[in-house]
Amino acid sequence: MYQYIQYETQDGLATITLNRPEVYNALNQGIKEELLQAFKEAEHNPEIRVVVLAGAGKAFCSGQDLKSAQQEMQGKSYATAIRAYYNPLILQMRQMPKPIIARIHGIAAGAGCSLALACDVLVASEEAILSELFVGIGLVMDSGSTYFLPRMIGSLKAFELATLGTQVQAAVALELGLVNKVVPEDSLDQAVHTYAEGYLNAPSATVGLIKKMLYQSANMNLEEVLELEAEYQDKAAVTQDHQEGIRAFMEKRDPVFKGK
Tens of pLDDT, residues 220-235: 999 999 999 999 999 9
Does residue 169 sit within a domain?
A: yes
Q: Is 56 helix (H, G, I), strand (E, B) or coil?
A: coil
Q: If you compute the radius of gyration of the chain from its CA atoms, what whole number of angstroms results?
A: 19
Residues 157-170, mean pLDDT to the nearest whole number: 96
Whether the per-residue pLDDT at 71 is higher than 80: the answer is no
Residues 52 and 177 in one domain: yes
Residues 164 and 59 in one domain: yes
pLDDT value for 209? 96
Residues 233 and 143 in one domain: no
Question: What's the N-to-C CA distance of the chain in angstroms?
Answer: 29
Residues 89 and 146 in one domain: yes
Of 182, 200, 218, which marks where a domain is finished?
A: 200
Residues 117 and 235 in one domain: no
CATH number of the domain enclosing 108: 3.90.226.10
Reported as a pLDDT band with limits 50, 70 and 90, residue 63 is: very high
Give the C-alpha separation, 42 to 49, whole Å: 8
Residues 102 and 144 in one domain: yes
Angle between helices 204-217 and 240-250 (to 10 degrees): 110
Does residue 257 sit within a domain?
A: no
In total, how many domains does the chain have? 2
Does residue 256 sit within a domain?
A: no
Give the C-alpha separation, 191 to 186, whole Å: 10
Does residue 133 sit within a domain?
A: yes
Residue 178, φ and ψ in degrees, nearest 5: -85, -20
**Which residue segment(s) compose the domain that 230 sits in?**
204-250
Give the C-alpha separation, 214 to 210, whole Å: 6
Residues 182 and 217 in one domain: no
Reported as a pLDDT band with limits 50, 70 and 90, residue 218 is: confident
Does residue 259 sit within a domain?
A: no
Whether the per-residue pLDDT at 79 is higher than 80: the answer is yes
pLDDT tens digits, 30-62:
999 999 999 999 999 999 999 999 999 999 999
Residues 44 and 146 in one domain: yes
3-state class percentages of the chain: helix first, strand second, coil last, to nearest 5: 55, 15, 30
Of 165, 183, 200, which marks where a domain is finished?
A: 200
The answer to pTM > 0.85 is yes
Q: What percent of the chain has pLDDT over 70?
A: 98
Residues 94 and 57 in one domain: yes
Whether the per-residue pLDDT at 157 is higher than 70: the answer is yes
Return the higher-pLDDT residue of 17 and 137.
17
Q: Is 228 helix (H, G, I), strand (E, B) or coil?
A: helix
Which burial class, exposed, middle or buried, applies to 213 when counting CB atoms under 10 A from its CB (0-12, 13-18, 19+)?
A: middle
Residues 142 and 237 in one domain: no
